[in-house]
Chains A and B, each alone.
Chain A
Amino acid sequence: MPETKSFIHARLTAFGDTRELERIRQFVQEKAREFGFSEQGAHTIMLAVDEACSNLICHSYHFDKAREFFIDIRPQGTEALVIEIFDNGAAFDPFSIPPPNLQEYALQHRKGGFGVHIIRTIMDTVEYFPATHTHQMNCLKLVKKLS
């Protein structure tokens, strides 16, 4: 097992602009590596977060560069990394999306709809908490175990 280096909590503020994806990936990859994930492990976590943020920027924020969202990363003990993405867009339940059917998608010339499947395949736990009166932002919570 690789040696882990703990950190308490890290937050990145990002905006509704696809240019932000590069910065988001760098942030997630750096923190995942710092926590102890291999290069491959950090790459897959980075991909899952990229997919979540791409969906948010394109389909919820509609490329509105003035709207911000937050990516929080924290360790869960020494065994798992927790990534929470907080946004104030319309609530969207990722579990409402069925697994993609490639043959059908090709016939429909459909280029989207893969991100949620990637996230659910890569991460150990995926939970979605829509905004409430007490929690004013939606939260997508992703957990990846180190082993």
Chain B
Amino acid sequence: MSKFSLEQRNNGTTTVLYLKGFLDAHTAPQLETAIAEAIAEGNYRIVVNFRELEYISSAGLGVFMVFIEDVRAKGGDIKLTAMNQKVYTVFDLLGFPMLFDITEHEEEALAKFLP
């Protein structure tokens, strides 16, 4: 069984998702469900913290593509933060830094949602 878990915390008006373990074609549906539920509850400001994520394949990256246009249309965003080098390399390989706001620290990502 691929080891993956996520934890959700609400930080004021922002939802922060903390990912842990291995995000691949087997575990990506868990993340997709969590983001879909956050959006269904009206949370369009989402920060995804990768600090404890060890591995990602394109199945994981694809999850963000599903939702990014919808949350931006609602005035929100999905900001990505605290990736290790291996994880960032995969995002970079596909050109995601052109489309997504990726920060080094969670505080920077949260600050970007402030008026």
Chain A residues engaging chain B, CB cutoff 8 angstroms = 18-19, 21-22, 25, 40, 43-44, 47, 50-51, 54, 57-58, 100, 102-103, 105-107, 109-112, 114-115, 117-118, 121-122
Contact = CB atoms under 8 A, between A and B. Distances in A.
**Main SS of chain B's interface residues?**
helix
A54 B94 contact: no
B94 A114 contact: yes
B63 A106 contact: no
Interface in B62-115: 62-63, 65-70, 86, 89-90, 93-96, 98-99
Nearest to A115: B58
A103 B99 CA distance: 7
A14 to B, nearest CB: 13
B24 A117 contact: no
A115 B59 CA distance: 8
Contacts of A18: 24-26
- A contact face: mostly helix, strand, loop, or mixed: helix
B10 interface: no
A118 B25 contact: no
B94 A19 contact: no
Contact of B2 (A19, A44, A114): A19
A117 B66 CA distance: 19
Interface of B: 1-2, 22, 24-26, 55, 57-59, 61-63, 65-70, 86, 89-90, 93-96, 98-99
A114 B61 CA distance: 9
A43 B58 contact: no
Nearest to A24: B24
Given A103-B99, A114-B94, A47 B57 contact: yes
Most buried by A among B24, B89, B99: B24
B69 A106 contact: yes
Given A19-B2, A100-B95, 13 more contacts: A18-B25, A19-B26, A44-B89, A51-B58, A54-B57, A57-B25, A58-B25, A102-B95, A105-B65, A106-B65, A109-B70, A110-B65, A118-B58
17 contacts: A18-B24, A21-B2, A21-B26, A22-B24, A22-B26, A50-B24, A102-B65, A105-B65, A106-B68, A106-B99, A109-B67, A109-B70, A111-B62, A117-B94, A118-B57, A118-B58, A118-B90
B99 A100 contact: no
A102 B94 contact: yes
B99 A118 contact: no
